[in-house]
């Protein structure tokens, strides 16, 4: 399989958009992608193997070289700090990271708590703001934390803003805009530079709105 390319794809909300992008770039991906619980899908015609991972784990697979390339959110890249090349902004799954809390929130001096699934990113952000906070790591449904008194604020992704709104929370600070990126293992880039360059080129044409 040395001339095959292994691609780590994020399961969940980025998946469909990433799939659409690859198809528009001319990759012939079977219907199996749209309706399957398989975690590894081989596409022999393209000499490609796709692995379907948790979004936060994609940079880990790519850093370890078990995937040559991957699609990862900028949020995961900031949080995970993996040694991979970020070669293309795919401009999909646009959203942003924000600090949110209950309306009328006022900063507390004593033991402020922030819940997030991005503990490293949140720690870094509050350090830069010169504010000392305790970060509480959660794995999802972060918006629950201020509602039941686990934390005063949260650091989380805002996409449509619906989750905040429907749970009576408000955005307090915007941290950084987020999109998905194509990432590459540095060794794979040396060994398979032509194939990877071609993939970047094909995808960038679609991203820039030209035909593949
Ligand atoms: C993400 C994020 C927010 C929500 C934002 O959660 O953590 O909760 O989406 O989207 P919105 O602004 O469009 O409402 P996700 O649905 O991925 O699940 P999670 O809570 O398990 O992390």
Q: What confidence tens digit (pLDDT) does each residue in 61-99 have? A: 999 999 999 999 999 999 999 999 999 999 999 999 999
Q: What percent of the chain has pLDDT over 90?
A: 92
pLDDT confidence band for 1 (50 / 70 / 90): low
Q: Is 149 in the pocket of ligand 1 (CB under 6 A)?
A: no
Q: Whose CA is nearest to atom 5 of ligand 1?
A: 158
Report the CATH fold assignment for 96-176: D-Maltodextrin-Binding Protein; domain 2 (3.40.190)
Per-residue pLDDT, averaged over 107-130, amounts to 94
Q: Is 171 in the pocket of ligand 1 (CB under 6 A)?
A: no
84 and 59 Cβ atoms separated by less than 8 Å: yes
Taking 60 as the threshold, does the pLDDT of residue 45 lie above it?
A: yes
68 and 196 Cβ atoms separated by less than 8 Å: yes
Q: What is the domain partition of the chain in residue ranges?
A: 5-93+179-207, 96-176
Q: What pLDDT, on the 0 to 100 scale, is given for residue 2? A: 73
pLDDT confidence band for 36 (50 / 70 / 90): confident
Give the position, in ligand 1's atom list, of the atom nearest the Cα of 142: 20
Q: Is 160 in the pocket of ligand 1 (CB under 6 A)?
A: yes
Give the position, in ligand 1's atom list, of the atom nearest the Cα of 141: 20
The Cα 188–Cα 144 span in angstroms is: 41
Per-residue pLDDT, averaged over 97-125, amounts to 94
- From 117, 118, 137, 159, the mutation candidate for ligand 1 (largest count of ligand atoms within 8 A of CB) is 159
The pTM of this model reads 0.93
The Cα 21–Cα 92 span in angstroms is: 9
Which CA distances in Å does 87 have to 103, 143, 164, 197? 39, 33, 32, 9
Q: Do domains 5-93+179-207 and 96-176 have the same CATH topology?
A: yes
CATH number of 5-93+179-207: 3.40.190.10
The SS3 call for residue 199 is: helix
pLDDT confidence band for 212 (50 / 70 / 90): low
Q: Is 157 in the pocket of ligand 1 (CB under 6 A)?
A: yes
Taking 80 as the threshold, does the pLDDT of residue 210 lie above it?
A: no
């Amino acid at each position: 399989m040395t001339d095959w390319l292994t691609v780590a794809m994020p399961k969940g909300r980025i998946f469909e958009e990433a799939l659409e992008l690859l198809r528009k770039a001319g990759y012939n991906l079977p219907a199996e992608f749209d309706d399957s619980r398989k975690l590894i899908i081989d596409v022999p015609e393209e000499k490609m193997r796709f692995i379907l991972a948790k979004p936060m784990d994609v940079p880990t697979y790519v850093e370890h070289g078990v995937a040559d390339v991957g699609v990862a959110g900028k949020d995961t890249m900031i949080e995970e700090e993996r040694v991979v090349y970020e070669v293309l902004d795919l401009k999909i799954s646009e959203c942003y990271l924000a600090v949110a809390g209950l309306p009328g929130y006022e900063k507390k001096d004593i033991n402020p708590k922030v819940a997030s699934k991005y503990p490293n990113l949140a720690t870094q952000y509050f350090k830069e703001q010169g504010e000392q906070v305790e970060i509480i790591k959660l794995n999802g449904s972060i918006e629950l934390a201020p509602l039941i008194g686990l934390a005063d604020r949260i650091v989380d992704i805002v996409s449509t803003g619906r989750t905040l709104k429907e749970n009576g929370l408000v955005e307090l600070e915007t941290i950084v805009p987020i999109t998905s990126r194509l990432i590459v293992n540095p060794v794979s880039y040396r060994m398979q530079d032509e194939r990877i360059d071609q993939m970047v080129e094909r995808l960038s044409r679609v991203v820039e709105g030209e035909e593949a």
